[in-house]
Each structure stands twice: as C-alpha cells, then as structure tokens.
Chain A
Amino acid sequence: MIDFEFHSPTSLDEAFGLLDQYGEDCRIMAGGTALVIQMKQRLSQPGHVIGLRKIGSLNSIESTPEGVRIGALCTQHQIISNPVIAKELPLLADTFRKVATPRIRNMATIGGGLVNGDPSQDPPPSLIALGASVVLTSNSGDRVVPLENFFIDYYETDVQPGEVLTSVLVPQAPAGSGAVYLKFLPRTADDYGTVSVAAVVSKGQDGTCKDVRIVLGSVGVTAIRATDAEDALRGKALTDENIRAAAALVKDAVDPLDDFRGSAEYKTDMAEVFARRAVEQSLASIS
C-alpha cells in the first residue's frame, strides 16, 4: 500500500474542510472493507484518507413519518440486529444477512457500500425495490437522490466533490405488499451472487398486481430495475402465465459479464428464472 495521511474528523464540518483542502487527492473511508483492499491492490492511491468513524452523528437508525432513516455509518450487523428494521423493513434485515460473513458485516457500513458502487453488492437491489433515497450532505446543505438514479456506471456514483453520503431514507413497504431478496449462490455462501433479484409486489383487492418493482444485481454495470417487466405485470392478474411473461422481459434488461461465476448467457437465463421466483415468492409472502 502506498503511504498516505490519515484524518479522523470528529464533525461533518471538519470533514468538509478536509475534502475542500485535499480535493481529488483524498478518499473518504467508512468501514474500509472495500477501500483498504483497493488501496492494497493500488487500484486507489489517495494521498489523504478521511475516516468517518469518529463522527458520532452518522450511526443511528430512526423511524420517521417518511420511513426509516439509517445513518450512513451503521454497520450491516447493526442493521440486521436493529428492532426498528426487523419490524418495519424485514426485507432489509434479510438482505444484509446475506452479505459476506459475520466479520465483514461487523465492519462494512450501509453508506460505504453504496458509495463504493460495486454492482454485485446485495443491498442496492433491495433498497431500490423499496424506493430508498440517499442524502448527500455538503457545505451547502442536503441533496436527496433516489437510489435508483444514484448509480451511474461501474463503481461510479452521483456523489459530487465536497459531498458526503450521510444517511439512507427507506420508505415503508406499501400495505398489502410482499417482498423478497433472492441471491443465487452456486459457489460459496460468502460469495457475491451470480445473479440477485429483489422484488416488492403489491396486490389489489381484486387480486391484480397493484404495483411491482423488480431490481437485479450482478448482471450489469449497476443494479438494474427491470421496468419493462414491471410494466407488463402492473394492473394484470397475478397468474403464473402473466408472471412468466413478465419475467421473460428481464432478459432484455440485463447485460452481464462473462466471468468465473458463469457466462453472460447463463446469467441472463438465470436472471429470468430468479426474477420469476422472486415475484412468486413475494406474492406468497403477502400476509
């Protein structure tokens, strides 16, 4: 690892000052699980690293009228074991439980993971399916960006110079909805998914699909919302036939890479299969 200077601001204002001072030559570190590995591999060589750990205001979870506000520095373990999340957003607890290993979940944070912009991570599909937004804070105030628009390209996000991701806002799932996150893991339990899918389905009184969101991970340069598949199902009867027809459209939405987890063709086929299962299981989970 190339050496650097480490900074531990104790307030956001202090962090903004450091960001302003060092500009392009600094990286912000939350849990460090991604950044430290990138620095060891010299994929990232900042002259300054700003650790956010000593800023106490960024690690709380609170229920608000707009939904649950999760501080950017909350660790994955903290989210899994939080009673507000368990009650109001069980999909999130289940999703974070599927990330890596207990050791990594003690270290990695929700905000750090999102800013890293890795398209194979577990949380983005579920958070986008739930309609989450991120709060980007700078000297000039807060900017709220729907997570769906936050990921721009492979490891590239909408965070602008001078901004720090400070919290994630997750609205409550609509009444009468079911949600599931499926992660296809043909290798080891701590791996990234070969394909992953989050689905949130709301059923109307007449049994038709009132609303649906289908979001996939590991099959493109960002998490991908399968809007054509959603449109094909919204307003329709939730029959096996209609779910199958909608899931088939997922194949056109994804653009996976060939790698050691499978060929692009195989992942495309699995995206359809797992999207169908995710919708079916979301539907079955409606209480």
Chain B
Amino acid sequence: MNHQVRLKVNGTDHELDIPARRLLVDCIRYDIGLTGTKESCSVGVCGACAVLVDGEMYASCITLAASVDGAEITTIEGIAENGNLHPIQQAFIDHGGFQCGICTPGQVIAAKSLLEENPTPTEDEIKDYMMGNLCRCTGYYGILNSIAAAAKIMNEAAGNKAAGSGG
C-alpha cells in the first residue's frame, strides 16, 4: 500500500508516494535518484548503505523509508561543502582510502559519524567504530590512515587538539 512520505535529503525536501515496503536505500537510489549510496549485503552488516538519519548513522538497507517519515537524511552526495570536497573525502583520495570504491560512500559516512561523535579518536577508537564497514579490497590501512589524517585536518581547522592524542 502506498504512503505519503516526506524526507529532507541533503537539504532538499522530497514528498514521495511510495509503498510501505520501500527500503530507504531504494528510495534514495531510485525514487530520489542519488546513486552514491550502495547496497551490498542487504542485511545491515557490511556498511555500504550507511547514511545519516537525523545525524545518526543508519543501515538504509534495513530501514523502511516510511518509518523515517519527516527525517533529515544525509548521503554521500550531501557532505561536500560549498562545492569543495569534505576533508574526509579529500583524505580518502590523498591517503589511498579506497580501491574499487563500492564500500567508500559508507566508509566516508561512517567516518563522518565517528568524527562528529569523537573529533579526536585514537587508532583503536577508529578501528572499533569502523569495524562495521567492510572493505573487500583489503584497503583497511588506507582507510584508517585517511580517517586519522581527516581528523587532524578538521581539528587544525577548528583549532582543536591534535588527533591521535586520545578522545
């Protein structure tokens, strides 16, 4: 049965007429047309479909779009600022944080969620938080380095203490 669902995605309001069974990942990709968010495992385990729902990281492959009616969603397309790549995106490029790229939108969203919660994570804290985002290209060191570098750059810009010094 179709439902009227309102979502604000990356700052733009959408009014959708979609079936109750529409998953948030499909809604984002097919109804709204933002294909940056990927679906991989389909059971909430791998992290490829991660998006922010009212600022909290969700697995969009096991979220019903109708169940988050009224929410603000941030996808990978929404994190660049004023046409410039987000520091996390730039760090993934500079530090080899990806190979094939399928997991990358989810990795970047997860890193953003981590750094909002804990702007100065230790290496162990980065590993602990990112353990739910799988990469099958064995790119984990590049990912860890990218996030540590992004934290440092973001903290320098914000005048916080250096990353890696504890949370």
Contacts and interface: CB of A to CB of B under 8 A. Distances in A.
B56 interface: yes
Given A6-B66, A32-B67, A102 B113 contact: yes
> Chain B's interface: helix, strand, loop or mixed, by majority?
mixed
B161 interface: no
7 contacts: A6-B67, A33-B44, A101-B45, A101-B47, A102-B113, A106-B57, A107-B62
Contacts of B20: 3-6, 49
A32 B113 CA distance: 21
A190 B47 CA distance: 12
Interface residues of B, number: 29
A190 B59 contact: no
A102 B43 contact: no
Counting contact residues on chain A (CB < 8 A from B), the size range is 20 to 34
A8 B19 CA distance: 14
Given A33-B62, A36-B64, A102-B113, A6 B3 contact: yes
B2 to A, nearest CB: 9
Interface in B111-137: 113-114, 129, 131-132
B131 A107 contact: no
B69 interface: yes
Contact of B1 (A3, A8, A51, A104): A3
Given A3-B19, A5-B1, A101-B131, 19 more contacts: A1-B23, A3-B1, A5-B20, A6-B1, A6-B3, A6-B20, A6-B67, A32-B67, A33-B62, A36-B23, A37-B43, A37-B62, A77-B56, A101-B47, A102-B114, A103-B58, A107-B62, A107-B63, A190-B45
A100 B131 CA distance: 9
B93 to A, nearest CB: 24
B42 interface: yes
Interface in A50-86: 51, 53, 77
A43 interface: no
